[in-house]
Amino acid sequence: MSTSSAARTSSGVVLMCTLLLSAFCCMSMAAGAGVAFFEHNPVPGGIAIVDLQVPNSDIAPSAKLGDREVAVIAQNGSWYAIVGIALSTEPGTSTLSVDTARSSSTIDFEVNDIQYEEQRIVIKDDRKVNPAPLDMERIKKENVRIAAVKAYRHETLLSDGFQLPLEGILTSPFGLRRFFNDQPRRPHGGIDIAAATGTPIYAPATGLVVDTGDYFFNGNSVFLEHGLGLQTFYAHLSKIHVKTGDRVSTGDLIGEVGETGRVTGPHLHWSVGLNGTWVNPYLVMSE
């Protein structure tokens, strides 16, 4: 149907609008809706759930954001991409590349704007803000190791929901624009939960231990993979109770709260990752 023939009758106009809506507006969901335990909130640091328009009778399509494979889940007769949106993403249109058994295509989705609050922190140990040259060598090596951890992917989703890893007081929400000793640093890629040193930290969902170690900024840390690139990260621990390669179930003890690394007091820094980027942890706890 051409535009002119559609415009000739009112029913034709309605039909054309419907076609346009299904083509451009219904690829992603209404905010707050979800697939599995993921909540759709397409903002920097959020999650976009994008209908790939592939029937779930077909084998799983592969979807990529840039060069990163994103999680793909079947629900309600279709395949959906569960896309982690980096905090550094500019609001506007983002594009997924999608490969099915039959074809390759792209699907656009919109990233809405959000304003995160500013936070200013005073760190007594200035070396944790302005590392010495020797520290920089260590940090560079750690960044390579962290990149490898973030690229690790277990091919099936191991979990069907998340709980908080400990009881405590939320002291710093996700996404804060941060200044350490008045110097701008990366935004807050997780949440901080304050609790006494030694407070047990439990696996919030079934997962695999991908790495543990003592990192310059993060202190004693644990990385878990929950499948399809859904990861969680635990920092500043006093004790670690798991080792790389362990499989943990929801509620298993993985470590204890501490104040190792760059901190102002004992707390757990907890991050949730999707396709290698940190997202707001509350978007996986919507159930």
In 3D space, the residue among 268, 248, 246 whose CA is nearest the CA of residue 257 turns out to be: 268
Q: What is the 3-state secondary structure (H, E, C) of 104-150?
A: EEEEEEEECCCCCCEEEECCCCHHHCCCCHHHHHHHHHHHHHHHHHH
Shortest distance, position 99 Cβ to Zn ion, whole Å: 36
**Of all residues in this chain, which one has the CB nearest to Zn ion in the complex?**
269
Which range in 101-109, 190-198, 223-231, 257-265 contacts Zn ion by CB under 5 A? 190-198
Judged by CB under 5 A, the chain residues 241 through 280 that form the site for Zn ion are 269
Shortest distance, position 146 Cβ to Zn ion, whole Å: 15
Q: Which residue, 91 or 173, is less far from Zn ion as judged by CB?
A: 173
Q: Which residue, 68 or 188, is less far from Zn ion as judged by CB?
A: 188
Q: Which residue, 54 or 193, is less far from Zn ion as judged by CB?
A: 193
Which range in 102-110, 143-151, 187-195, 208-216 contacts Zn ion by CB under 5 A? 187-195
Report which DSSP code applies to 249.
-
Which range in 8-16, 38-46, 124-132, 188-196 contacts Zn ion by CB under 5 A? 188-196
Shortest distance, position 97 Cβ to Zn ion, whole Å: 33
Question: From the list 192, 211, 225, 256, which residue makes contact with Zn ion (rule: CB under 5 A)?
Answer: 192
# residues contacting Zn ion (CB under 5 A): 2
In 3D space, the residue among 205, 203, 212, 223 whose CA is nearest the CA of residue 158 turns out to be: 205
> Which residue is it, tokens 């609001």?
91
In 3D space, the residue among 238, 244, 160, 154 whose CA is nearest the CA of residue 204 turns out to be: 160
Rounded alpha-carbon distances, angstroms, from residue 74 to 25, 58, 95, 109, 254: 20, 10, 20, 19, 31
Half-sphere exposure for 244 (CA within 13 Å, toward CB): 7
Which range in 56-64, 147-155, 157-165, 189-197 contacts Zn ion by CB under 5 A? 189-197
The CB density around residue 30, as the number of other CB atoms within 10 Å, is 6
Asked whether position 226 contacts Zn ion by CB under 5 A, the answer is no
Alpha-carbon span 158 to 71, nearest angstrom: 12
> Which residue is it, tokens 């759709």?
40
Q: Which residue, 153 or 177, is less far from Zn ion as judged by CB?
A: 177
Shortest distance, position 133 Cβ to Zn ion, whole Å: 26
Q: Which residue, 226 or 269, is less far from Zn ion as judged by CB?
A: 269
Alpha-carbon span 20 to 51, nearest angstrom: 16
Which range in 85-93, 121-129, 191-199, 223-231 contacts Zn ion by CB under 5 A? 191-199
Taking residues 142 to 181 in sequence order and writing x for each that binds Zn ion by CB under 5 A, - otherwise, the string is: ----------------------------------------
In 3D space, the residue among 175, 278, 267, 178 whose CA is nearest the CA of residue 220 turns out to be: 267
Shortest distance, position 149 Cβ to Zn ion, whole Å: 18
Q: Which residue, 68 or 269, is less far from Zn ion as judged by CB?
A: 269
Shortest distance, position 235 Cβ to Zn ion, whole Å: 7
Shortest distance, position 171 Cβ to Zn ion, whole Å: 9
Element (H, E) at 19: helix 10-24
The CB density around residue 10, as the number of other CB atoms within 10 Å, is 8
- Binding residues for Zn ion, per CB under 5 A? 192, 269
